[in-house]
Amino acid sequence: MDFGLDMLRQSPVTETMAVSPLSVIFALALVQVGAKGETKEQINEKISDGATDDQIVDFYSNLANSTLNA
């Protein structure tokens, strides 16, 4: 979740913005599955903290289910 907060901190204070950090992280998790090379490494650095592809899919799948069932 640090990624989402970092993203919001980097946006200019003068701009009005409505973004769901959780939605951005879910989107990155989906992209990560199909990414390769440096792109995959960069996404992993932001969202996975060294997890394997299977661990990432399981984590974000469980998070999505928990969010929907909350």
Interatomic CA distance for residues 6 and 9, integer angstroms:
5
Task: Using a pLDDT cut of 70, give the percent of the chain over it.
Answer: 93
Q: What does the pLDDT look like over 22-38, one tens digit per residue?
A: 888 889 899 998 999 99
pLDDT of residue 55: 92
Tokens of 24: 């951005």
pLDDT of residue 68: 87
